[in-house]
Amino acid sequence: MTQLGKLLVVAITILAMVFLGLSAVVFKTADNWKDKALAETKKLQSAQAEVTKAQDATAQAVTELARLAAENKNAIAIKDQQISDLQASEKSKDTDLAQVRKELSVAQQTATLSSTESGTRVAETEVIRESLKSAQDQANTLKLQEADLNQRVVDLTKNLDTARKTNSRLREEVATLSTTLSKAGLNTDVRNVTSLANPPEVEGMVSRVDPSSDHIELSIGGDDGLVPGHELFVFRRSPRAQYIGKVRIIATDPERSVAIVVGKTYLGTKVTEGDVVSTTIKPRS
């Protein structure tokens, strides 16, 4: 080998080491957007679960409030009717007692019988008075229960207000998370986010590359479980096995999808037709 050949070999070796170092720096400093997207997705799902829970608690509080108010109204109406009936009965008995006394003053000869009847009437009146007192006690108890129910209504109203404020706060958090996902270039649809969190195990090929727009057409699509936001690794099998880089799905139809390159490819290698894309085959760390 000539002296010039030796110098060229040394120069090529040095350049290869420089490019290898640059590649290592690029891979160490690249942001892992997929992990960030998954973290934001978990926050979004947690916020939406809290929104649903707050809405359920609000609906239950309103239903319980209406039921208690209806029960209280019915109970008061029944007791009021009982009091009215007892008062009418007492008035009737008082009238009967007055009639008995009048008969006693007119018919002294039947004094013993009339006195017995009068005593009976008085006893019945006392029973009615006791019944009236019992009804009034029950009415007082119902009023206390009404006061307790009113307090419960106040408490439920406060809980409802708290639930509404929580609901409003959660909606703001959901909006913030949705904005964050949108800025990251991800779909904010919960079903799509769930699909992103569990990418399918697929393998396909690059069927076409558009050099004018950097769009890459893949041979797999929606029927294979892919949705916009999924990322796939790109490999080349010939003339030797080589890792190229990553692509992100931006659009799908049932049998194919369109993707763009994520970040920089390995050593600046271009993605070409026939390259392999997969979610299961990953580059070595």
Full set of structural domains in the chain with CATH:
38-183 (1.10.287), 199-285 (2.40.30)
Output the average pLDDT for the chain.
Answer: 83
Name beta bridge partners: 205: 276
Residue-level pLDDT at 223: 94
Distance CA 91, CA 85 (A): 10
Residue-level pLDDT at 149: 86
Query: 52-56, 135-139, 246-250: which has the highest mean pLDDT?
Result: 246-250
Least confident of 33-42, 180-189, 209-218, 240-249: 180-189
* pLDDT confidence bin for 195, thresholds 50/70/90: low
Distance CA 1, CA 230 (A): 51
Distance CA 141, CA 160 (A): 28
* pLDDT confidence bin for 148, thresholds 50/70/90: confident
Q: Which helix (H) or strand (E) holds 240?
A: none
Per DSSP (E only), the strands in 128-187 are none
Residue-level pLDDT at 221: 95
Q: Which helix (H) or strand (E) holds 164?
A: helix 111-183
Q: What angle do CA 44, 49, 53 make, to 5 degrees?
A: 150
Name residue, tokens 């992103």: 196
Cβ distance 35 to 197 under 8 Å?
no
Cβ distance 283 to 275 under 8 Å?
no
Distance CA 134, CA 129 (A): 8
Structure tokens at 52: 């649903």
Cβ distance 207 to 273 under 8 Å?
yes
Name residue, tokens 């005593």: 119
pLDDT at 41 over 80: yes
Residue-level pLDDT at 234: 96
Distance CA 226, CA 247 (A): 13
Cβ contacts of residue 120 below 8 Å, gap of 6+? none
Residue-level pLDDT at 70: 86
Distance CA 126, CA 97 (A): 12
Give the mean model confidence (pLDDT) for residues 8-33: 75
Cβ distance 243 to 283 under 8 Å?
yes
Residue-level pLDDT at 96: 86
For residues 169-184, one letter each, b for 16 or more C-beta atoms within 10 angstroms of the residue's C-beta and e for the rest, the string is ebeebbeebbebbeee
Cβ distance 266 to 243 under 8 Å?
yes
Cβ contacts of residue 167 below 8 Å, gap of 6+? 51, 54, 55, 58
